[in-house]
Each structure stands twice: as structure tokens, then as C-alpha cells.
Amino acid sequence: MAARSLSLLLSAAALVAATDPSLKLKTFVDVLDLEYSFDPVKAAYWTALPHHRRTPFAVSPDGQTAYLAYLDSSGTGVHVQHLHPPTMTAKGPLVSIPNVYEAGGLVAHDHGFALLGNEPIATTVANAPPSGTPVPAIYRYANGVQQWKTFVAGPGVHADDGLSMAPDMNGDLVWSDEAELYGAYFVVTDYSGDADGHFGDSIEYVNDNGTLETITGASSSWGCSHNTGIAFEAADAAPFASICAEDQGAIWLNTATQGMTDNGVKISNENTTNGAGGEAMGGMSGSYSSLARFVNSTSYIFAWVSRGAVDLTANTWMGDGYTSASNRTNGRRTAMALFSDKETKVSAQASSVVGAVDGDSQVNWVSPSIGADRSNAHAAVFDDEYALVTWEEIAQPSCDIIAFGCSGAFTGTHFQLVNVAGDTIGEPIVSENTYVAGDMVTLANGTICWPYVNMDWRLDLPVGGGLPETTTKKMSFGCMSLV
């Protein structure tokens, strides 16, 4: 009897194996008590529209411990809470790293973690940045105790190319077991050298003992101008997979170039105005879980938001081969791109033909309909075949400032199942009270989990413009699995 029903079950399973799975959302609402309070809202650069303040999240390879990093609501000091993954409740220890101004990325190990943060260097130190502007650093802890701290900019770091600081920590930290390296990709402002006073980005590598390594063809002191969005994911060797959104009209897969030159892979044309590029990778407090590597695979998936591109014109500042674009739409749409390896886009690159009317015919739209505005796009993988793309929507947006975000009533977080071939599968799940506000992590059993704050999420007003001020001492988690 038992054997017979088992074989029936097995043949039923074999029959459905050819069919695509669907998504199942499970939430853990207010399960984690925070020891310190957290302000879940961060004002966007220029518009001050609300963004979720990123809470970096990571799970150890042995699956025993999850880590959640959050900035103290005082604005100084990052706390890293250790968690039990099955329940997302606290387990010891809680680590507080004083003087850090933002939690900018987190890597989990079996007995500890590494955090990307930024902290001021005393102005009495030779070549320190002016007025206590913070400098990015990686902090490595094991069993709750700091092992090392390594600055990845500031005094003595690529001094010949100009010194860098990070007034806002926008970027990401990854670790490669194969390369035995941490990689950090982050937005910088230079305070000496040719780029003094300008915004750009930097890619730095640090080994397991905390030594900053300068790797030819991988480390970069200055890459994409006015980068307002970073996507970064580990690879088996440096250079790691990297994407930047620059202020001249494009998003580049710049793994091989680390910059914005046209020998990189042009993923898309974007309308850029006054240094802004549509907050393609989330803008301020974004730059996480936009690029993910399929399990046991060399392939990657990238998700972003775009207004599309029409009427390509010559970009005379950049020179021959470079273009600028006007936007096709008012609101932004979610898009995805697939890469067969860290340097190779699966389908056509974006056009660089001056005079072309269509500058976005290569884009694989995840939300094709025009009218709504999409923001806060992220991607994470379930396994070697399926991935999740998420974004937030405003059904009736006002997009008052060109190439920035839009305002209006929030109409839900969307969760769309996609596959490695670039197909969308089924309709998205829409939730009006679950958000993505921290790193989306794939657990060993193929479930994707991320942190968020259970709150009334509003996108209709700027921060300081009438939104209630919020701090919280609770954290919630969302998990998506395939069924």
C-alpha cells in the first residue's frame, strides 16, 4: 500500500516536472526584536523622495546563521544581529561597530561576517579627507570579535590616481571562495588629483587576512562618472561581475573594463540629465541584489528600471561611438538582462547608432505596460534555472524631475518568476504590505529571503515634506519559494 502510493506520487511528480513551478510567499512579520532603533527611510539624492534604507542581509554557507546589519537611528554606529534562519529570531552575539555611518554590504561566513561601511578619519591624520567625510572600509568579525579593518579608499589608497572618500555609502561587498577575495564596488568622491570634487566609483579587492590587493585588470580607482547605481556579484576569479549606471547615457557590464568605455558591454541606453540616470539600480541606498549568479552556473541575471530610449544623438563629450538618448516613457518599467558569463550578454547589446529612433529594441521588459512607474528593482536566483525579479509600483505617478524617481500612491510590490532563458513565467504576485528593503539571499534549500520593515509604505511625499517620521525596533522577513 505504502509502496504503491509512493510510486503513484513519483509518477505524478515526473508528470509535473515538465511544467514550470509557481511562487509562494511566506512572511515573518515583526519576528525580530532589534536592540537599537532603526530609521527605515532614506531620502533620495536631489528629490528627497523616500527609499527604503538598506538593511544588508546574508546567510552563512553552513546555513546555521543569518546576519542582519542596520544603521543606528542616531546615524552613527552599525549593529550586526546574528539570527536563526528557520525562525529569523535573534541568537547571540550582537556586534556593534561604532563610528560607522552606513551599512553598505555584508558577507556571511560560517563563524562570522564581513561588513562594508564608511567612517570618518581624524583630520589630524595625514591626507585624511576634509571635514570628517567618511571613508569606506571592510570590517571582518569572527565569533563576535573584530579580526581586521581595512580602508578601501582614503589616505594611501591609490594615491597616485587621486584620493577617494564616500560621503554616502552606495555600493556592495561580495566574497569569492574560489578567488579567496572580497570585492567591494562603491560610489566615491575624489578629494585630490584629476577628479578632485567629482563623483565616480571604485572597485577594490581585499584578501582573507585583510590585505588590500591591487589587481591589474580588476582593481579600479575611478570607473564610471557620477555612478548612481552599482550591481556587483562574485566570480571564480577577479575581476568580479560588475555593472554601472553612468551620467552620459548608458548602463555598462564593465567586468572587463571597470569603466564606462565602449569596449565594455552596453546593456542599455538611458536618458541622463544633470548627472541623474533614472535611479536604474535604486539610487540612494539601492545597489544590492540587482545582479545574481545562477546556482552551479556561470550565468547571471540583472534587473533594473528604465524609461526606455529613443532618438540617439552623438555624445560629443565622450566622442565617437558614444550616444545620448531621450526617454520613451514618463514612468519607468522593469527590465532584465541575462549574461552567459561575467563578461558576455546573451542577446544583442544596446544600439550606439547616432540617429537611431529606437534605442531600446534590445531590452527584455519584465513589466511591458506603460503608465505606471516602477522602482526598487531586484533579482535573486532560486537554482540553476529560475530567478525572482521584484519591483515596487506607483500606478499613477508624477515624474516631476527628469531622470529621477516619481511620486504617487504606492500600489504594491511585484514578484515575478523568470527563467535563465529570459522568459517571464505566469503573472506576478502583488503584495501591498511586503517590501524588499535589504539583500535577497538564496538559502541552501532554494528559498530566497530578505528583510523589510512592517510599515505603511508611502511614496507620495518627500522625506521631511509631511511623511510621519518613523523609527522601529522590529524587523520582518519575506521568503519566496518555488512550488
Ligand X SMILES: *[C@@H]1O[C@H](CO)[C@@H](O)[C@H](O)[C@H]1NC(C)=O
- Using CB under 6 A as the criterion, which residues of the chain lie in contact with ligand X when the complex forms? 85-86, 207, 209, 211, 271-273, 295-296, 307, 324-327, 329-330, 383-384, 399, 402-403, 443, 445, 447, 479, 481
Residue 204 to residue 227: CA distance in whole angstroms: 16
Q: How far is the CB of 407 from ligand X (least distance, A)?
A: 12
Query: Which is nearer to ligand X, 7 or 368 (by Cβ)?
Result: 368
Question: Minimum Å distance from CB 207 to ligand X?
Answer: 5
Nearest to 234 by CA among 164, 292, 280: 292
Nearer to ligand X, 104 or 308 (CB): 308
Nearest distance from residue 210's CB to ligand X, in Å?
A: 7
Amino acid letter, residue 59: V
CA-wise closest residue to 196 among 149, 130, 267, 110: 130
Q: Which is nearer to ligand X, 22 or 211 (by Cβ)?
A: 211
CB count, 10 Å around CB of 206? 23
Smaller CB separation from ligand X, 166 or 335: 335
132 versus 210: smaller Cβ distance to ligand X: 210
Nearest CB to ligand X, comparing residues 384 and 423: 384
Could you give the maximum distance between any two Cα atoms of the chain, in Å? 80
Closest approach of Cβ 399 to ligand X, in Å?
4
Among residues 196 and 213, whose Cβ is nearest to ligand X?
A: 213
Identity of the residue, 86 or 217, whose beta carbon is nearer to ligand X in the bound complex: 86
What does the radius of gyration of the chain's CA atoms come to, in whole angstroms? 22
Nearest approach in angstroms of CB 95 to ligand X is: 22
- Smallest distance, ligand X to C-beta of residue 332, A: 9
The distance of closest approach from Cβ of residue 284 to ligand X in the complex, given in angstroms and rounded to an integer, is 17
Cell triple for residue 436? Answer: 524588499
